[in-house]
Structure 1
């Protein structure tokens, strides 16, 4: 059995009610649910939440809520991996069905596409990896990053790279924060997702935006609206 698990607790602080806040016309969690369902990758799409309102919205868009998440796994300090482990273990216990693969999909990932999930699943199986997850490249070489020191002046983290052309520096990547495929054994072992047993699924910068603050949210809506207009134009042509 392949399980999609969408963590969505109710206690977000920086953006209140973040996981069900309206994003370009519908609750932001709806995008993750709908893409998971349409991808054809999953036997079940589950939302892990401690919040009844979030549960009601998730059910409305087609997800399942087989159980509510306990309070001890819903605070500001609980990591994603602990939530995924809890969901896999309890789901198996209640249904007597074995989970083979599980994919964590964040509730605030409106840019995710079915083909991204499909590619992640394919790579996980073909590469015999423990995890596959979405990444994107940094827009600027991290080797030329700057810091503002205690005196309010600028310093380079790596001054030796000042005279090296940007195109001659190694490209760097970061977690795109959308989805994380993993085998049951990898999730339950507590093995970190980032490692040489993981395969990256590369996404374009135009489809990646962290949403942690109101400013992030506004930028994401601008990007999403532009992306949708581009898709409509291409379909029309």
Structure 2
């Protein structure tokens, strides 16, 4: 049995009600739910939340199982792992054993079902791997990063500043969309960012963090330009 777990707490501060705020005409969380449904990979789609409003909207868009998380898992400092572990344990108590779990963020309107399918296929074909998650490339060589220092700037790696971009190793970062894992890996806390994880590479135009109002505006513009025109 496979399940998707979508963490969605109600206490967003920088963008109030972020998970259910309308994004290009639909609640933001609806995009993650619909991508999970269209992938046809999941026996159940689970939303973990502390908000009745989020639970009701999630159920409207087809979520089949909701987990009411306790206040200790709904504060500003709780990470993803304990929330997913709580959802898995609750689900298995109620409905039985689970083999694979995909954590899907509620703030992923660019999520594509085929990338969920790719992550699942690659993970299930590699028995020595624990996770498969979305990544994308940095738009600029991170080896040539600078920091502000006094009235000027300082290079993080001065020895790299004179090198050509094509001579530097291309680097990737977490795309913040989905994280496939075995149930054992989730429950035992295996490291995600390790050699036992499979990277599913996304194009940069399908990746956008949504943490601030500026991020939100940019994401809507990107969505209308790159995603909605294909539907």
After TM superposition, the score normalised by the length of structure 2 is 0.97
Q: CA deviation at 1:230?
A: 4.3
CA contact (8 A) 1:81 1:187 kept: yes
Indicate conservation of the 8 Å contact 1:135/1:174, yes or no. yes
Question: How does 1:88-237 map onto structure 2 within 5 Å?
Answer: 88-95=88-95, 97-128=96-127, 129-149=129-149, 151-228=150-227, 230-231=229-230
* Structure 1 moving runs of 4+ over 4 Å: none
Cα deviations by residue, 1:178-224 (Å, 9 ceiling, x for unpaired): 00000000000011211010000000000000000000000000100
Give the number of aligned pairs: 230
2:123/2:198 contact within 8 Å kept: yes
Task: Indicate how the Cα distance of structure 1 residues 220 and 158 shifts in structure 2: closer, same or farther if over 3 A, else same.
Answer: same
Cα distance change of structure 1 residues 24 and 5 upon mapping to structure 2, 3 Å threshold:
same
SS at match of 1:181: strand
Farther off after superposition, 220-229 or 52-61: 220-229
What's the counterpart of residue 47 of structure 2? 47
Q: Quote the RMSD (CA, aligned, Å).
A: 1.0
Q: Which runs of 5+ in 2 are unaligned?
A: none
Displacement of 1:229: 5.4
3-state SS, counterpart of residue 68 of structure 2: coil
Cα distance, 1:162–1:190 mapped onto 2, change above 3 Å: same
Map of 2:9 onto structure 1: 9
Q: CA deviation at 1:148?
A: 0.3
Partner of 1:235: none
What is the SS of the residue equivalent to 1:226? Answer: helix
Give the distance between the partners of 1:116 and 1:212, measured in 2 at CA.
23
Whether contact under 8 Å (1:9, 1:74) holds in the other structure is yes
3-state SS in 2 of match to 1:206: helix
- CA distance in 2: counterparts of 1:230 and 1:167, whole angstroms: 33
Runs of 5+ unmatched residues, structure 1: 233-237
SS in 1 for 2:114: helix
**TM-score, scaled relative to structure 1:** 0.95
- How far apart, in 1, do the equivalents of 2:151 and 2:221 lie? 33
